[in-house]
């Protein structure tokens, strides 16, 4: 039996008292609020990206990017909106399931809430690793490019 601290071991069951329940309930409310806020931002990003792709030909004449560049920027924003959708979706589902589980004392919903929360954090973590890797490649390319000149 592995001991985590002097009061809790892995073989003991975890109990959710009223204090923890209230923290989880409030956390679920804030998670739902943040998820809805991200959904609104995603909607605005999608509208902007569609505007850039559709109106890019007329905007392109005023820009050095041209019509193709404006459409490409719109496509990049659309991809970003799609990537932001999944963590917001997982967070929304986690909040919904946790709140319902706490209201009904339903263990299945409680587990589903934490499963969605795990998926949210895993997705965000993988996205951060990818972004940091892209930053490292760009910085490395800039350093190599600067040393060549």
User: What are 23-52's pLDDT values in tens digits?
Assistant: 999 999 999 999 999 999 999 999 999 988
Residue 29 lies in a domain: yes
CB 87 within 8 A of CB 120: yes
Q: Report yes or no on whether pTM surpasses 0.85.
A: no
- Whether 6 is in a domain gets the answer no
The lowest-confidence range among 1-10, 20-29, 136-145 is 1-10
Share above pLDDT 90 across residues of the chain, in percent, rounded to a whole number = 70
Q: Has residue 9 been placed in a domain?
A: no
Provide the domain count of the chain. 1
Surface-to-core class of residue 51, CB atoms within 10 Å of its CB (0-12 exposed, 13-18 middle, 19+ buried): middle
Q: Which domain holds residue 138?
A: 18-148
Tell me if 60 sits within 8 A of 66, measured CB to CB. yes
Confidence of residue 16 (pLDDT cuts 50, 70, 90): confident
């Amino acid at each position: 039996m592995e001991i985590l601290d002097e009061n809790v071991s892995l073989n003991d069951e975890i109990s959710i008292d009223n204090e923890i329940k209230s923290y989880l309930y409030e956390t679920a409310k804030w998670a739902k609020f943040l998820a809805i806020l991200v959904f609104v931002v995603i909607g605005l990003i999608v509208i902007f990206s569609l505007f850039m792709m559709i109106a890019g030909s007329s905007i392109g004449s005023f820009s050095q990017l041209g019509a193709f560049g404006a459409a490409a920027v719109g496509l990049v924003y659309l991809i970003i909106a799609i990537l932001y959708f999944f963590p917001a979706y997982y967070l929304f589902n986690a909040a919904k399931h946790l709140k319902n589980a706490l209201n009904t004392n339903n263990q299945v919903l409680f587990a589903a809430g934490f499963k969605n929360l795990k998926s949210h954090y895993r997705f965000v973590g993988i996205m951060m690793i990818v972004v940091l890797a892209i930053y490292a490649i760009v910085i490395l390319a800039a350093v190599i490019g600067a040393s060549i000149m």
